[in-house]
Structure 1
Amino acid sequence: MSIRPRRSILYVPGDNGRALEKARALAADGFILDLEDAVAPDAKLLARQSVVAAVAERRYGARETIVRINDYNTPWGREDLAAAAAAGPDAILIPKVTCPGDIMHAAKDLREAGAPDHTALWAMMETPIAMLNADSILRTAADPASRLSVIVMGTNDIAKETRARLTPGRASIMTWLSTCVVAARAYSVEIIDGVYNDFSDAAGFRQECLQGRDLGMDGKSLIHPNQIATCNEIFAPPADEILWASKVISAFSAPENAEKGVLQVEGRMVERLHAEMARRTMQIAEAIAALA
């Protein structure tokens, strides 16, 4: 599976032409062109046209482009998927996923709509039943036909549906965040943390990014361009981690260590699993550098 950075994934309202254009100059790793929550019902069709045009033009270069469609239980969801599939974004994000069937059904619809092979499926994890079914939902990624590669935490919806209060530290939803991280790792799916609502609170945002990174999130979804720089900094491998990774890889690559499972590097014991971790660190660092 190709490695690409997903430190910062910015939601862009699909009906806001200025925002769609401005995103060209932003340093986010990816953009979720939103047809769902950010768009009023009377603007849905215009938003679809604008987003499909932006995708077809390959407007954002090497930045990952994801289209979030409306739920299938709305008048727009199925037509959103068909139009987005024809445009061929990097991924289509499905909201309100509750069970494995939602993933496989969407994947079938993508194939029938003629989506190119490179168009992956992303899933919003944002309902109580999705939290209960996290294992079975993520398990579908073991089937290549599912196209499932990333889940995005919908923390606002989770809080609303459970009546939990989103307080600093997110203690009320920590169990569900951790459950989804473990399920994502079990089935080799990447996981993007939910949004931080108060974009004027830089200190609080930084702390939540650090928390997400410590939990094992691959990046964070964002609602404002001012959040991008902090997010990119925190979710990127730090310089000392990159240097250490290069030393571990070099040590295990030496011919005399070809059959060894454990080595001593600068006084520290390292195993081959650390070499695997180091290779991923280097791949992420190289992918980030390629976006610059």
Structure 2
Amino acid sequence: MKEVKAIFLDMDGTILHENNRTSAETACVIRKLRASGYRVFLATGRAYEEIYLLIPKDLEFDGIISSNGTLGHIGNRVLFEHDLSESAVNTIVQSAQKEGIYYEVFPFKAPRFALTEDQAWMLALVQGEKPQQVAESEWLSRHEAIKGKLTWRQHVPTGMGYSKIYLFHPELNKIEAFRNQMLAQVETLKIEVSNSTQNNIETMKYGINKGTAIKEMCAYFNIDISETLVIGDSDNDRSMFEVGKVTVAMKNAKQHIKTRTMYETDFDNNEDGAAKFLESHLL
């Protein structure tokens, strides 16, 4: 791995524990990597504004890719921004309403929202005990969202600029049917469809994903793709694995994800598997 100069890290299921937080051990390894001359980036499906709620306050990165590649930051400066069309946003929201799918719309410059008319049934959908088939981290994220991150609007505003829509349902058959519905409209709505767990869907601008964002970030820093290492665990990381030179799947990743990578960590995300892999191979 002598050629590696840049490291791109997913968050959920990778550097975040099940409680949706990054440990001090992982933060320490990231600092050591940067001090040793490696450039370290985040490449997450999370919205930019929530990232710093989940990592130590003094932990820094060379760049941050958020919302599955639609937004790129260098420090506080926006490097790129790829908007999901307003027509697609309205169509997807209407479809979610019709099918009873929980949704969160993410503007670039305002808090995530759903429509007030859907508040009662959406909140009811994520109350009570966690369903067995839903990941602990995702259930926790929904509860964190409804307690302080999700806002309510009367209608979808125009001229705002949208990064993505997150969609969720605790019943697998419901969310799988809706995912197939979205996939059937990829060309007509000009959307990218992905997911980070089996119970969710995320829609972004057509042709935009973590892989395209890595290319944009590398171009800015004059890093060749052959000098990259990427680590992830889920379906929304597949585009990273298609682009990165050295590819690493987390131990906790599904088997169909592991078949796409060169390496697998010896430990899962709750055991700081990504940090341990990087420390043993690069430090």
TM-score normalised to the size of structure 2?
Answer: 0.30
Q: Which has more helix, going by share of residues? A: 1
Q: Which has more strand, going by share of residues? A: 2
Which protein, 1 or 2, shows the higher relative CO under an 8 Å CA cutoff with sep ≥ 6?
2
TM-score normalised to the size of structure 1?
Answer: 0.29
